Amino acid sequence: MRKALIVDDHPVFRNGLKTALGGWRVFDAVDEAGSAAEARDAVDRGGYELAMVDVGLPDGSGMDLVESRAGLAGAPAFFVLTMEADASLARRAVRAGAAGFASKNLALGVLELAVRLVLAGEPYIEGEILRDLLTADAVLSSSRREGRRLVGGLTPRERAALDALLDGLNAKEMAQRLGVSQRTAENYQSAVYAKLGARSPVDLVRIALGAGLIASP
C-alpha cells in the first residue's frame, strides 16, 4: 500500500493537494498533518513513501523535520513544497536529504512529473530555483578562486601579517607576534592591504572568507 503525507498548516491547500495526489492514481492513501508535531508523529509511525512538507508551520519549521528524519530507516522521501522557495533554502533542503524542492506556484502537471521522478529515485528541484542555485554557486566559486589567488600572492611574512590582522591585532601587537619592529609590521600591513586590494578590515574579512581562511558565520 503506497501512502503519502501532506504537511501544511493550511487546510484548503492540504485538501487541494490531497485531491491532486488522489487523481494521479499514484497513492492508495494520503494523510495530512497540520503541524510539525503531528508530522513527526506520523513520520515516526512509518509507512509513508512520500512526505510533502511546507517550511512555515505553526510550531516549528518543516526543514527541521527533514533534517532530523531524512535518511533514517523507514523514512519517506521528503519533498519540500513551499512559498518560501529560494536558492538558499533549496541548498539547505538538499543538504538535509530532501529528494524534491519546489514552490507552491508550480503547475500541477509539472508537480505530478516531479513527484513521479522522486518516487523513481530521481531528485527534483524546480527549474527557476535550480538556475538561481547554480548561479549562486558559480558566483561563490568565482569568489573563492579570486580570494585564493589574491592570498596566494602574499609572501610568507605578509601572510602571517594577514593572520594577525584577521585576529584583530594592531601594528604594535603584530610586531610582537612576528618578532619585528613596529615600523616593519606597519609595512607588512600596508603591503597586505595593497596586494589584496582591500580598503578596510571588512574587505580583509570578505577576502579571507572567499579564500577559505576563516569559516563563514
- Specify the domain boundaries for CATH 1.10.10.10 within the chain: 132-211
Total-model pTM = 0.60
CA distance 8 to 163: 48
CA distance 207 to 186: 20
Q: Provide the pLDDT for residue 79.
A: 93
Q: Provide the pLDDT for residue 98.
A: 85
Q: What is the third-level CATH fold of 3-125?
A: Rossmann fold (3.40.50)
The angle formed by the CA atoms of residues 18, 47 and 122, to the nearest 5 degrees, is 70
CA distance 150 to 102: 38
The angle formed by the CA atoms of residues 31, 44 and 81, to the nearest 5 degrees, is 50
Distance of alpha carbon 79 from the chain centroid: 15
- Specify the domain boundaries for CATH 3.40.50.2300 within the chain: 3-125
Question: Taking a C-beta distance cutoff of 8 angstroms, is the pair 207, 147 a contact?
Answer: yes
pLDDT (tens digit, 0 to 9) for every residue of the chain, 217 residues total? Answer: 899 999 999 999 999 999 999 888 889 999 999 999 999 999 999 999 999 999 989 998 998 999 999 888 889 999 999 887 777 778 788 878 888 888 888 888 888 888 888 888 887 877 565 454 545 444 445 556 666 777 888 888 988 998 888 888 888 898 999 999 999 999 998 988 888 888 777 777 777 777 777 555 4
In the chain, the N- to C-terminal Cα span, in Å, equals 45
Q: Provide the pLDDT for residue 138.
A: 46
CATH class of 132-211: mainly alpha
φ, ψ dihedrals at 99, nearest 5°: -90, -20
Q: Provide the pLDDT for residue 65.
A: 92
Helices (H), the chain: 11-23, 36-45, 62-69, 87-96, 108-119, 127-152, 156-166, 171-178, 182-196, 201-211
Name residues whose C-beta falls within 8 Å of residue 143's C-beta, 6 or more positions apart in sequence: 210
Question: Taking a C-beta distance cutoff of 8 angstroms, is the pair 69, 75 a contact?
Answer: yes
Distances (CA, A) of 101 to 2, 27, 53: 21, 20, 9
